Structure 1
């Protein structure tokens, strides 16, 4: 009897309310949702990951790695789009698993999403801090590493308080910053896609592979695609806004697909131009754009583009922060965590308490971990969330 009761509780499913009633304000149009999706998706992939993948994994074939990752993300995006049209409620994968599988699975996925969004916010804040530090010739990192070193392999080498400041202060400027973000493109030279192995400088021989378009072979392209998959994380942010969207059944699926398509075009173009403009083996893995313009002698352009990149990364930072309190709000509304987190501010019509606590958690992560560690942690949680949503689509059908 007790076992039967436990099974009933664990598999209890959420009753779907398809009405338009919500405590949050329905103010987001299709354009707003698409801009949110693009702002959440474009970030480290453009300004940091493209250089890292080109240098360490794919070479000039980084554009193919982004293409493969885009195809995989599109399949996941279609699953989210189908659920968004069937279950237009805030909570993303948490709500979808609650409706389809039951309360226990939803509880696990909900906490997984919270961790994913906390880590995603922290990684973007850390990347933004690295970009600003690069403009100052790494003065901040050297000073903090000397004054407050952290001697632990699983943590950053120094506490990054600037990233904490960004999380605390930034506010949403999606539309303006996305326009700046999409305008940053450079000087191509196709010869850099055909560099022969004998033309590679001796100091890069051990790390540059065999030269040419695919210096690390097909395995390098696939390995790069696995890392590029992180670049498309963020489109599911749109699904968390169902309680704030106008006509969510129509606009959320369209916004997810449009955001993924726009993001792919930008990633493909950026990785193509970056590897054409400068040899893949000499890319900077932390701030490739400032390094690129410094090498070609365009110092003024370096500052213009890097400032644009800072605005763009701040957009992605806000996009990463945006869904986190919504997932917390959805879980609290269902009673799976403290009800206090479901309180909606009467003036702003947003879950204020959940937002503040979420920002504190993300700030702590940004201070203590560096970008590579955060990216690796986030990829596991993202893969689990996408897998659960795909399985739930099969169950639903």
Structure 2
């Protein structure tokens, strides 16, 4: 039995409960939106600044009481709300048609998540002014403030189903992630051992659950939310960068020779790296484009107008991406910490920001000119490199909006992860590559 089949069998025992919790959670969300709209008052979006309680709440009233910057800080903090849909991508081995089903499922789930958050936040802020909101339990408090205690208890009990649905959503991709990391020697291999009865990485899942519970007991809710947000933003930044790396990478095609066995007429394939390529063929021209020729300076903007990636163009694209990420960090720092000097028109602040933006535009122009892979895929990110580049810039900016304590905790977390990989995962991978070379 393959591991994918084993994991698929392990899903069946919990999928029914997960579906029930999800349906109940969606029902509660619809109840909040419908019931809250009955008590909605548009005047709560038009709060007079003079009526804001001074000394207890900060804000200028109106529709944007904390301004655009406050809205972006809130988006950076609650970005963790979009972390659940990635479990769809980890179930590719159990999907009948993953190339079609996974992209559609991700887009549909993102739309549903957006509508749920948009509807809930809309009715809550229309029910109660922003300065009277309870940050710990905003929805039950809003219904209590409008003297609707029955709805308050329905929402409070429904929150339990929401927590259960979130728990199942977090535990659903966990066995696959642990198994894949254990197989790649990124974590200890015993964590990926599949249990004979439960058909899941039992030890790894159990230890991960216990460790998650320990973290929840030690840290406050706000700290955990910020840690989830910064982790999610970093993961999406890496995904966007990976899209660019793969799109501009060389597609290596091994060449094979048809051989015939001595005791049978069956034909087998055997790799032969010394076979001379035909002089005139489409495949030959494809293979020749992998050879580097011309100057490095000419390839920076692809003056030779190559149509397929080479090793040189791949390296240039990687360097462009690295410089762009550094410039995005610098632009984010300037936008956050040099906002007042820029608004005041100080030359040094405007010059630094302009240089960073100019360099980012130049490296993107260089990246646009590089040849892209022609590998056929059922689903590709459109408008490359514009959409991944904007995603990287936005995610880095949102990460920089988080507080310094979150960055310190994140740095410690990353140090622990790199230590495990450096002292265990990396030596195992090097050892595996050496063994592979000996077999060849």
TM score, norm. by length of structure 1: 0.55
> In the alignment, which residue of structure 2 is the partner of 1:194?
46
Contact 2:78 2:229 in 1 (8 A): no
* Secondary structure, aligned partner of 2:6: coil
Alignment partners' CA distance in 1, 2:5 and 2:188: 18
Say whether residues 1:275 and 2:125 are aligned partners: yes
> In the alignment, which residue of structure 2 is the partner of 1:176?
23
Give 1:23 deviation, angstroms.
4.1
Say whether residues 1:344 and 2:194 are aligned partners: yes
Alignment partners' CA distance in 2, 1:179 and 1:358: 27
The 5 A counterparts of 1:138-287 are 173-183=20-30, 184-185=32-33, 186=36, 187-202=39-54, 204=56, 207-287=57-137
Unmatched segments (≥5 aa) in structure 2: 248-440
The structure showing larger relative contact order (alpha-carbon pairs under 8 Å, at least 6 residues apart) is: 1
**Are residues 28 and 174 of structure 1, via their aligned partners in 2, closer, same or farther at CA, if it must alter by over 3 Å?**
farther
Contact 1:28 1:246 in 2 (8 A): no
Give 1:297 deviation, angstroms.
1.1
**Are residues 344 and 238 of structure 1, via their aligned partners in 2, closer, same or farther at CA, if it must alter by over 3 Å?**
same
Give 1:286 deviation, angstroms.
0.7
1:156-202 Cα offsets, whole Å, 9 max, x none, are xxxxxxxxxxxxxx977444333334323213111111110122344
> In the alignment, which residue of structure 2 is the partner of 1:297?
147
* Secondary structure, aligned partner of 1:263: helix
Alignment partners' CA distance in 1, 2:195 and 2:19: 18
The 5 A counterparts of 1:59-74 are none
Contact 1:24 1:244 in 2 (8 A): no
Give 1:380 deviation, angstroms.
2.5
* Secondary structure, aligned partner of 1:24: helix
Alignment partners' CA distance in 1, 2:181 and 2:41: 51
* Segments of 4+ moved more than 6 angstroms: none
Alignment partners' CA distance in 1, 2:130 and 2:243: 40
**Are residues 219 and 176 of structure 1, via their aligned partners in 2, closer, same or farther at CA, if it must alter by over 3 Å?**
closer
The 5 A counterparts of 1:311-390 are 311-390=161-240
Alignment partners' CA distance in 1, 2:189 and 2:73: 43
Alignment partners' CA distance in 2, 1:223 and 1:276: 21
Alignment partners' CA distance in 2, 1:300 and 1:178: 18
**Are residues 371 and 300 of structure 1, via their aligned partners in 2, closer, same or farther at CA, if it must alter by over 3 Å?**
same
Give 1:253 deviation, angstroms.
1.5
Alignment partners' CA distance in 2, 1:199 and 1:264: 32
Unmatched segments (≥5 aa) in structure 1: 1-19, 37-169
Contact 1:188 1:276 in 2 (8 A): yes
Contact 1:25 1:243 in 2 (8 A): no
**Are residues 320 and 201 of structure 1, via their aligned partners in 2, closer, same or farther at CA, if it must alter by over 3 Å?**
same
> In the alignment, which residue of structure 2 is the partner of 1:162?
none
TM score, norm. by length of structure 2: 0.50
Contact 1:345 1:351 in 2 (8 A): yes
